[in-house]
A and B are shown apart, each in its own frame.
Chain A
Amino acid sequence: MDEIKSLLNRPKYYNNIDGVGELGMGFMMLGFGLLMWLQAHAPKGSAWHGMWAFAIYMTVLFSILHYGAKAIKTRYTYPRTGFVEYRKHDRIWTGVAAFVLSVVASVALFAGRRRHLDLSALGSLFGVVLAAGYAYRIAREVRWKLVVAGAIALGSLATAILPANLLAAVAGEIGAAHPVRTKLYGTYLLSILLIGTMFTISGGISFWLYLRQTREER
């Protein structure tokens, strides 16, 4: 029975067999981080603070992620280890879970800000929870990725004890008048950049190993 269960889970691991799943996550987080950085450091009145810049940036970012991943899969993965189309049912639930999580996080942030609570520790908590999920879902199958999970957890915890002036430098103009907001923004931005960098490196190594260990079959 356990072997059947393991076979049923194989397609989930297959999605990241080439590291493209992680590369995509890494680029997405680095993209968000870059946008947050630009919004914090661009001069007042700059286009980066406008809604249009945000919408165009997001469209470009998600187009690169979608078509880039598709191109890599078509060019390298399908000819080497085959093509899989996932069940719509699974994709819908992943989307619903991501939506619910982002709504809960946004409501918590909004409520915390209204009550002037110091939520900067949540940035670190987010990193630790993500590292635990990563260790359970991905590093369980590919052991060396436990190092990546550990680095994400430790790095996220380290952002919580960084000096306030460093966080203020990272947060730039955002919340310059509010020390709590500065700390919050600085911690989140650093966590996102750290996690994005780790995912990109890990995905890049996986992709390199995949290309070395497989060859085109057709």
Chain B
Amino acid sequence: MNQQIKTIAELDRVIHEPGRLMIVALLSAVEKADFLYLQHETGMNKGTLSSHLSRLEEAGYVEVVKTYRGKVPLTLLHLTGAGRKAFEQYRRKLKEAL
């Protein structure tokens, strides 16, 4: 039991938050995606999604690239190497804890 609590306590807090976990899981399955895709798939509003993305960007897990498609602004997001590694580690630890 103690070991289980210890493992849970060791989970990456940045990823463990449900909203950010959704974002990281979705991004881990693709090369890159835009803001609208994440909004559509997670059901979050723009503000909440932006705030989670900022937190992930600060942690170095997500890279945000602002660009244009034609004249339309486009925010592209992709998981960095560190982000992928952290997510794999998170899944492994979660599996151990469960």
Contact = CB atoms under 8 A, between A and B. Distances in A.
Interface stretch (B2-10, B38-46, B50-58): B38-46
A82 B25 contact: no
A81 B40 CA distance: 6
B69 A82 contact: no
B11 interface: no
A10 B35 CA distance: 16
Contacts of B13: none
Interface string B62-98: 0000000100111010000000000000010011001
Interface residues of B, number: 27
Nearest to A5: B25
A47 B36 CA distance: 49
A79 B32 CA distance: 16
Contact of B40 (A4, A12, A82): A82
Interface string A52-84: 000000000000000000000010001101111
Interface size class of chain A, counting residues whose CB lies under 8 Å from the partner chain? 20 to 34
A83 B22 contact: no
A84 B37 contact: yes
A81 B28 CA distance: 18
A146 B36 CA distance: 30
Contact of B98 (A1, A12, A14, A79): A1
A78 B34 contact: yes
Nearest to B40: A81
Contact of B21 (A4, A79, A81, A88): A4
A8 interface: yes
A7 B36 contact: no
B31 A82 contact: no
A83 B76 CA distance: 9
Contacts of B31: 85-88
B30 interface: yes
Nearest to B32: A85
Residue with the greatest number of chain A CB neighbours at <10 A, chosen from B21, B30, B32: B30
Contact of A1 (B30, B34, B37, B94): B94
Nearest to A91: B31
Given A1-B94, A7-B22, A82 B29 contact: no
Contact of B33 (A74, A85, A88): A85
B71 to A, nearest CB: 11
B26 interface: yes
Contact of B30 (A4, A87, A217, A218): A87
Contacts of B34: 78, 82-84
Given A1-B91, A83-B69, 4 more contacts: A79-B36, A87-B29, A87-B30, A88-B31
Interface of A: 1, 4, 7-12, 14, 74, 78-79, 81-88, 217-218
Interface of B: 21-22, 25-26, 28-41, 69, 72-74, 76, 91, 94-95, 98
